[in-house]
Amino acid sequence: MDIREEKVDVTPAIASEWLQLNTGNRSIRRDVVLAYAHDMESNDWLYTGDSIMFVREPDGSERLADGQHRLLAIIKSKTTQRMKVEWGHSPEVQKVIDSGVARQLADNLRMEGHPNAQQLTAIARRILAFRATGVPHNRSGRLSKAQQRDIIMPGGVPDELIAEAAAYCAKFHRTLIPQSAIGFLYWLLVPIDADAAVDFLNRCHDGSNLPAGHPVLTLRNRLINERESAGNHSRANDSAIIAYAIIAWNGIRKDKNLAKIVLPKGGLTPSTYPKPV
């Protein structure tokens, strides 16, 4: 088969033209397009040699087989990007494109020698979501690798507090509070009172020597009850668990016993999400 390969500076106009040949491809993932476009706009998009690939149908027509997300990102970012482009592949090639696992930011950080890479990226996602919406969820959504890296390594230098948070939460396994939520709470609470924050998180984990009404005991009981009522392998939404923990922390800071964890009226929203004191 005659396969032609070329490096092309792909403009938005070229991308639009090529996308006219985008038939029979997988569904568009909007979050991927947005993440790619952010990297392109920020000059963080690197030439990797991954190909924009066209296949030749039996009737001689060309069809786009790989690259639709990159082409859409070029259009959205209004930038020109150098891409390797291959024409003339067999239609059978599309069956094996992207069948592997994409490399994540954590993989890159690990290869660069940064410890606790998985924890770093999970905490970064929560911080970005918290700053943007007031709710520390852990969904990637529109977050690009560049945005996450900027949180972890502002100016190319590791953020000391986030690195400490990742190292701290990495020690905990099979806990009532998810590992990345522990790391986020460390990042959130340590600047308020470092000793008190570590003591609070340690107590949340071991639950030892807590008198009735102690906010941490009330927190643990709620998490245990929710897990048991939902089944041993289920638990509350992670963002809700962090909210419960902040409410318990505030009870300790105000020197108040808590008989129960009371959520804001109307549930947890960006405007009602609890703030630590």
Distance CA 55, CA 49 (A): 18
Of the candidate CATH numbers 3.30.2450, 3.90.1530, 1.10.8, 3.30.70, the domain formed by 4-95 belongs to 3.90.1530
Nearby residues of 206 by Cβ (< 8 Å), 6 or more positions away? none
Cβ 234 vs Cβ 198: under 8 Å: no
Closest by CA to 186, choosing from 136, 255, 237, 260, is 136
Average pLDDT rounded to a whole number, residues 129-136: 88
Which of residues 13 and 24 earns the better pLDDT score? 13
Q: What is the mean pLDDT of residues 66-95?
A: 89
pLDDT, tens only, 171-217 = 988 788 999 999 999 999 999 999 999 999 999 999 888 999 999 99
62-66, strands of its sheet edge to edge: 4-10, 81-89, 51-56, 62-66
Quickly tell me which residue has 């033209």 as its tokens: 17
Q: Residue 95 — very low, low, confident or very high, per pLDDT cuts 50/70/90?
A: low
Provide the residue ranges of all domains of the chain, joining segments of one domain with +.
4-95, 105-253
Q: Spell out the residues 6+ positions from residue 268 whose beta carbon is closer than 8 angstroms to its own.
A: 135, 239, 240, 243
| Vertex 96: Cα angle to 93 and 100 (nearest 5) | 145
